[in-house]
Structure 1
């Protein structure tokens, strides 16, 4: 039995891992036909578990997206995602993801002890993933970095670099050096993705005028088009649910 639309589902993490994980989400194409979607930047990087009818089970690390990306979802494709906040790159994966801007890195198909059968049940997958991630959380984290990311997400990227610097007692140069080394972009650029993420949620509700730190309507429209390929009105219409922005998927 098939559905007319691609199926999405999202679960939020429990408090114990919420500093590192934004959400768990899944996409499944049971329509019986290949579907084209547009994936937009969501300010996270992802661990992806993927299986379709023609390809073997794969696990890969998907870096930050900086542009909208048109993708085709094959028939019978099922993909589970763990969307990570940036601090997880250093403290859970122990690596820079700067080389993965708009790219992916294949991982062993038993990475972190996962196996193909884990993508049969989304809720069970989320429980297993949460238990695994809890084991990797370190006892100590650089307090400057911890404070920085708390401020970044709490403000939706609305603070200036100077404000971040003053509140974390970390110089602007050190912050940007850290961001460039680990994530391949500056903090200012990253904050732009956070603002877009919030803007998409507003656009989805029909609010087509800027409510965040955009200089004017023209600036807002330019930023939206740069990151989605269309203007705010077209994005709001979202014909055939083509546009995917993870934060806007209804969560459980």
Structure 2
């Protein structure tokens, strides 16, 4: 598997988690993607030619995907606040699905897809310019998502509400309108996704904010469709995120 990921820094990190690249060889790849609390803009390249631009919604369950052979995918993993301030639209209708965007989106044909560094520089510059043209960014929303992603969902809705001076009802109305999920659902997804790195190490017990082992197993299975044990075993590299996490752990091992 040929996978690369580059995390963002600075102001743009309020809106983008990372950039990633995935390449297949002479064989089609079949995987299950697990919910992570983000959404993606994906560029599909075949024979060095841009063939598709795809926008996903938020995954709330495992999704089966097939990636054709000899295909390059370059993606931008967006934090949910980007739906409003970069895409200027609700992604509610895209929950657990995806949509094709025009091949001319963001003038992306001008990007260098052969070099991940150059691609990230180009799209970051373009998105920076777009964000600068926004008259005002709601600081409550900026703070809301910073808390959620920094704490990986391990925070109570009441604590968030008191911290940003925005009522629970208003927050959930915003979430359901823009993303098609509740704030509680996002917290559950972020918390579960955070557990994957522990599961990849074989730590099949809850880390934080789970009542007990039974509650941990139930919530992980609810979000991923698999038990922690089956995720750890990851037979035939079925779960893409577990495979990439495991590969990164192996690279970091002495």
TM-score by length of 2: 0.90
Report matched runs for 1:181-220 at 5 Å. 181-220=177-216
Structure 2: how far apart are the matches of 1:106 and 1:199? 31
Select 1:127's aligned residue among 121, 127, 148. Answer: 121
Pairwise CA distance, 1:90: 0.6
Partner of 2:189, secondary structure, is: helix
Please tell me whether the aligned partners of residues 83 and 90 of structure 2 are also in contact (alpha carbons under 8 angstroms): yes
Report matched runs for 1:22-33 at 5 Å. 22-30=17-25, 32-33=26-27
Match of residue 175 from structure 2: 179
TM-score by length of 1: 0.90
Select 1:41's aligned residue among 27, 35, 49. Answer: 35
- Change over 3 Å in CA distance of 1:18–1:33 after alignment to 2: same
Structure 2: how far apart are the matches of 1:37 and 1:116? 30
Q: Deviations over 1:181-230 (max 9, x none)?
A: 11111000011110011011111122110102112111211222222232
Please tell me whether the aligned partners of residues 158 and 213 of structure 1 are also in contact (alpha carbons under 8 angstroms): yes
Please tell me whether the aligned partners of residues 62 and 100 of structure 1 are also in contact (alpha carbons under 8 angstroms): yes
Match of residue 98 from structure 1: 92
Which range moved further: 101-110 or 230-239?
Answer: 230-239
Structure 2: how far apart are the matches of 1:17 and 1:223? 32
Please tell me whether the aligned partners of residues 13 and 130 of structure 1 are also in contact (alpha carbons under 8 angstroms): no
Select 2:5's aligned residue among 10, 14, 20. Answer: 10
Pairwise CA distance, 1:117: 6.2
Select 1:81's aligned residue among 75, 82, 85. Answer: 75
Select 2:220's aligned residue among 217, 221, 224. Answer: 224
Please tell me whether the aligned partners of residues 16 and 76 of structure 2 are also in contact (alpha carbons under 8 angstroms): yes
Partner of 2:14, secondary structure, is: coil
5+ unaligned residues in a row in structure 2: which ranges? 250-254
The number of aligned residues is 244
Please tell me whether the aligned partners of residues 41 and 245 of structure 1 are also in contact (alpha carbons under 8 angstroms): no
Q: Deviations over 1:86-133 (max 9, x none)?
A: 111111111111111011121111110111863222221111111111
Structure 2: how far apart are the matches of 1:91 and 1:15? 17
Question: Do structure 1's residue 144 and structure 2's residue 119 form an aligned pair?
Answer: no
- Change over 3 Å in CA distance of 1:154–1:68 after alignment to 2: same
Structure 1: how far apart are the matches of 2:162 and 2:11? 28
Supply the RMSD in Å over aligned alpha carbons.
2.0
Could you list the structure 1 runs, at least 4 aligned residues long, displaced by more than 4 angstroms after superposition: none
Question: Do structure 1's residue 21 and structure 2's residue 53 form an aligned pair?
Answer: no
Please tell me whether the aligned partners of residues 43 and 50 of structure 2 are also in contact (alpha carbons under 8 angstroms): no
Structure 2: how far apart are the matches of 1:234 and 1:117? 39
Please tell me whether the aligned partners of residues 50 and 109 of structure 2 are also in contact (alpha carbons under 8 angstroms): no
